[in-house]
Amino acid sequence: MKIEFVSVTKEFAVRGSDRPFTAVSDISLDVAEGEFLTLVGPSGCGKSTLLDLLTGLTLPTRGEIRINGVPVSGPGLDRGIVFQQYALFPWRTAVANVEFGLEAKGVPRRERRERARGYLDLVGLRGFDERYPHELSGGMRQRVAIARSLAYDPDILLMDEPFAALDAQTRESLQEELLRIWNKTGKTIVFITHGIDEAVYLGQRVAVMTPSPGRIRAVVPVSFASREGDLRADPVFGEYRHAIWTLLREEVTSVGQTLTQLGRPLGLPA
Amino acid sequence: MARPSLSSAGLSASPLDDDHLHSSAVTTITPIPQPVSPATGRRRSLWGVARRAFNASAAIVVLAAVWEILPRVQVVDPTFLPPLSDVLAAWYDLLRGGELVEHVQASLVRSLAGFGLAILTATPLGLLIGWYRPVAEFLNPVLELFRNTAALALLPVFVLILGLGETSKISIILYACAWPILLNTIAGVKGVDPLLIKSARSLGLGPFRLFQKVILPAAVPTIFTGIRLAGAYSILVLVAAEMVGAKAGLGYLINYAQYNFRVPDMYAGIITISVLGLLFNLLLVRLERRFSTWRTT
Ligand SMILES: Nc1ncnc2c1ncn2[C@@H]1O[C@H](COP(=O)(O)OP(=O)(O)O)[C@@H](O)[C@H]1O
Ligand SMILES: [Mg+2]
């Protein structure tokens, strides 16, 4: 499953103005089959917009998104999505939530239940089948959401800041878990985050996105000699983090410079 | 949805409050009740349960006692308000004579027919209006207008058009019950979390399946709130409808007894209707809770 963004631009009509708002501009990016790509950028730079396009919920204004060479024209079960706010159906138990996509796929009832149980197992929620979402912690809910997206076996997993609402400890354990699941299932994962650490920790490559309009500024390949021990304390990890931080910041300072030239100094250090 | 339950929050907060009271008692001179020791605390909570059970029925008992005593000591005129025991005796006579059953039956048939028809018509209509947002926006002013017109104000209109028979009675109940169901159903459909819809759409669900699998189950608790309200209306409107041109029914009984100065019978009818309303409401509250466990807890 190869994903290609070919000069993708998305504009939104603005009420009370005839000039549209450009959310993302001229994005070109390839994601290889089985790759774990993270997309990092500040809030509002167009990450979710890009993901909606990839989901097929909205269509690009210009350009094209292809999956295995076929242009995306709508949603499909070849892509699974995990949202930050879990989006679990509160009237369904954990196992029934996981079954949701299987129902959409037309899997027979008995097989559905069995498969759903298996995926709850995979995300470490054995024995929580009959719990309702409100009876689960945030981290557990996100595990159910991940199981739900994996259950109907999409080739691509799209994740929009899935761990942003969790506390640091839960987030780290879910990050580890996600890598384990990725290793086990071999899915192609596009993971959106606004956290540099998270992007470096998870991604094989980190696409750095900058705002106004949203563009991909750079794609940084990440590799470590070893992932044993506390990876975040590795000096190489720090170098990656700094490199990406600089890429994200340069854009801000260049905007700052333009504003200074206009006679409106920004409160940024020189 | 992720709200913690009120009761557990209250439980975990109370020991903290005690600490707070205690420490402020040390620093300020304001007299503050001594913090309760664990042992007396437990005894008190047992007492609390007993007290609450007592409180729940106490008001009723007091009311009954007042109703019994005031007429007997001539504080109120027993001709207009006979003592409760007289009313209960009249009620028992009505029951034994078979009259009461006949009236209750007539009333229940009307109430349930109007209520049932309201559910059958208003729920699908509400779903439709809620689903097609432009329709909802277009109809909203009209809905607001009708909602704020008391159903009973329209009773003469119903009688004028549909006559004095059963049709007009059931119709006015249907009409009164339809509004809460309709408005709640519309609100329920419109209030579905957009993220859930997005999540379902991302799986490629078409409009019909989206409606069946997401919109409808999400709206059920709100719809049931409407149904519960409608249940109360069905009894409220019933009585008034039966006071005009009926030959049976509790409203008729109350009106007829008053007209013929059978005052205890009148009160017997009133008591019956309030107990009926209470039971009906209790049943619907139960049902509502059953269908919205995922929302309330
Ligand atoms: N449907 C929409 N209509 C108009 N503007 C939108 C719409 N969706 C997103 N935007 C705008 O596009 C920009 C990018 O939004 P988004 O993709 O949600 O950013 P991110 O996910 O990176 O925080 C924001 O400025 C937002 O206001
Ligand atoms: Mg976003």
What integer best gives the mean pLDDT of chain A?
88
Q: For residues A163-177, b (16+ Cβ closer than 10 Å) or e, as one string?
A: bebbeeebbbebbeb
Give the pLDDT confidence score for residue B44 in this predicted structure. 67
Residue of B nearest to A57 (CA): B202
Least confident window among A50-54, A177-181, A261-265, B242-246: A261-265
What ipTM does this complex have?
0.85
Closest to A129 (Cα-Cα) out of A104, A99, A89: A99
**Backbone phi and psi for residue A157, each to the nearest 5 degrees, phi listed first:** -115, 120
Give the pLDDT confidence score for residue A197 in this predicted structure. 93
One DSSP character per residue, A10-23 reads EEE--TT-SSPEEE
- Model confidence at A252: pLDDT above 60: no
- Model confidence at A106: pLDDT above 80: yes
Count of C-beta atoms within a 10 Å radius of residue A205: 19
Give me the sign of the Cα torsion angle A63, A67, A69, A74: negative
Give the pLDDT confidence score for residue B125 in this predicted structure. 93
Give the pLDDT confidence score for residue B5 in this predicted structure. 40
Ligand 1: residue whose CA is nearest its atom 14: A46
- Model confidence at A74: pLDDT above 50: yes
Q: For residues B221-244, b (16+ Cβ closer than 10 Å) or e, as one string?
A: bbbbbbbbbbbbbbbbbbbbbbbb
- Model confidence at B265: pLDDT above 50: yes
* B214 in reach of chain A (CB within 8 A): yes
Is omega for the bond preceding B194 within 30 degrees of 0, making it cis?
no
Confidence of residue B29 (pLDDT cuts 50, 70, 90): very low
Confidence of residue B1 (pLDDT cuts 50, 70, 90): very low
- Residue pLDDT, tens place only, A169-212: 889 999 998 999 999 999 999 999 999 999 999 999 999 999 88
Three-state DSSP at A209 gives strand
Rg of chain B over Cα atoms, rounded to whole angstroms, equals: 26
* B212 in reach of chain A (CB within 8 A): no
- Model confidence at A71: pLDDT above 60: yes
For residue A41, report the distance from its CA to the centre of ligand 2, in Å.
10
Q: Do B214 and A133 touch (CB under 8 A)?
A: no
Return the structure tokens found at A222.
């990440």
Cα–chain-centroid distance for residue B94? Answer: 27
Ligand 1: residue whose CA is nearest its atom 17: A46
Count of C-beta atoms within a 10 Å radius of residue A56: 20
Return the structure tokens found at A270.
């020189």
Confidence of residue B137 (pLDDT cuts 50, 70, 90): confident
Confidence of residue A263 (pLDDT cuts 50, 70, 90): very low
Give the pLDDT confidence score for residue A260 in this predicted structure. 42
- Model confidence at A258: pLDDT above 70: no
Return the structure tokens found at B280.
């009906």
A21-31 vs A70-71, strand pairing mode: unpaired
Mean pLDDT value across residues B248-274: 93
> Where is pLDDT greater, at B6 or A101?
A101
* A83 in reach of chain B (CB within 8 A): yes
Count of C-beta atoms within a 10 Å radius of residue B82: 21
Mean pLDDT value across residues B280-290: 89
Mean pLDDT value across residues B119-125: 95
Mean pLDDT value across residues A63-87: 92
Q: What angle do CA B171, B173, B178 make, to 5 degrees?
A: 95
Confidence of residue B246 (pLDDT cuts 50, 70, 90): confident
Give the pLDDT confidence score for residue B39 in this predicted structure. 52
- Model confidence at A261: pLDDT above 50: no
Closest to A236 (Cα-Cα) out of A195, A266, A200: A200
User: Residues 6 or more apart from A264 whose CB is under 8 A from it?
Assistant: none
- Residue pLDDT, tens place only, B159-192: 899 888 889 999 999 999 999 999 999 999 999 9
- Residue pLDDT, tens place only, B73-115: 988 898 899 999 999 999 999 999 999 999 999 999 999 999 9
Distance of CA B132 to CAs A212, B143, B189, B207, B237, Å? 35, 15, 10, 12, 31
Q: Do residues A104 and B209 lie in contact, with contact meaning Cβ atoms separated by under 8 Å? A: yes
Confidence of residue A256 (pLDDT cuts 50, 70, 90): very low
Q: Do residues A210 and A249 lie in contact, with contact meaning Cβ atoms separated by under 8 Å? A: no
- Model confidence at B152: pLDDT above 60: yes
Judge if the beta carbon of residue A61 lies within 6 A of ligand 1: no
Q: Do residues B269 and B260 lie in contact, with contact meaning Cβ atoms separated by under 8 Å? A: no
**Backbone phi and psi for residue B241, each to the nearest 5 degrees, phi listed first:** -65, -35
**Alpha carbon distance B210, B200 (integer Å):** 7
Give the pLDDT confidence score for residue A16 in this predicted structure. 86
Q: Which domains does chain A have, with CATH numbers?
A: 3-14+22-232 (3.40.50.300)
Starting at the earlier edge strand, list the strands of the sheet with A215-221: A79-82, A156-160, A188-193, A36-40, A205-210, A215-221
- Whose tokens are 């139960």? That residue is B286
Q: Do residues A84 and A161 lie in contact, with contact meaning Cβ atoms separated by under 8 Å? A: yes
Judge if the beta carbon of residue A193 lies within 6 A of ligand 1: no
| B149 burial level (CB within 10 Å; 0-12, 13-18, 19+) | exposed
The bound ligand whose nearest atom lies closest to the alpha carbon of A162 is 2
- Of chain A, the percentage scoring pLDDT greater than 90 comes to 61
What integer best gives the mean pLDDT of chain B?
83
**Alpha carbon distance B263, A85 (integer Å):** 63
Judge if the beta carbon of residue A20 lies within 6 A of ligand 1: no
Distance of CA B50 to CAs A48, A112, A151, B57, B61, Å? 57, 50, 52, 11, 16
- Model confidence at B23: pLDDT above 70: no
Distance from CA of A267 to the nearest CA of B (A): 37
Least confident window among A248-262, B164-178, B223-237, B253-267: A248-262
* B297 in reach of chain A (CB within 8 A): yes
Bridge-partner residues for A81, per DSSP? A158
- Model confidence at A33: pLDDT above 90: yes
Give the pLDDT confidence score for residue A146 in this predicted structure. 92
- Model confidence at A231: pLDDT above 70: yes
Q: Do B199 and A101 touch (CB under 8 A)?
A: no
Mean pLDDT value across residues A74-92: 92
- Model confidence at A259: pLDDT above 60: no
Least confident window among A37-41, A54-58, A160-164, B286-290: B286-290
Q: What kind of fold does domain B84-291 have according to CATH?
A: MetI-like fold (1.10.3720)
Count of C-beta atoms within a 10 Å radius of residue B53: 10
- Residue pLDDT, tens place only, B41-79: 566 678 888 887 777 788 888 999 999 999 999 888 988
Give the pLDDT confidence score for residue A253 in this predicted structure. 54
Give the pLDDT confidence score for residue B294 in this predicted structure. 77
User: Residues 6 or more apart from B172 whose CB is under 8 A from it?
Assistant: B114, B151, B152, B154, B155, B158, B237, B241
Give the pLDDT confidence score for residue A255 in this predicted structure. 46
Closest to B238 (Cα-Cα) out of B120, B119, B103: B103
**Alpha carbon distance A178, A65 (integer Å):** 26
Give the pLDDT confidence score for residue A257 in this predicted structure. 45
Mean pLDDT value across residues B13-35: 39
Closest to B220 (Cα-Cα) out of B125, B289, B140: B289
Q: Do residues A171 and A18 lie in contact, with contact meaning Cβ atoms separated by under 8 Å? A: no
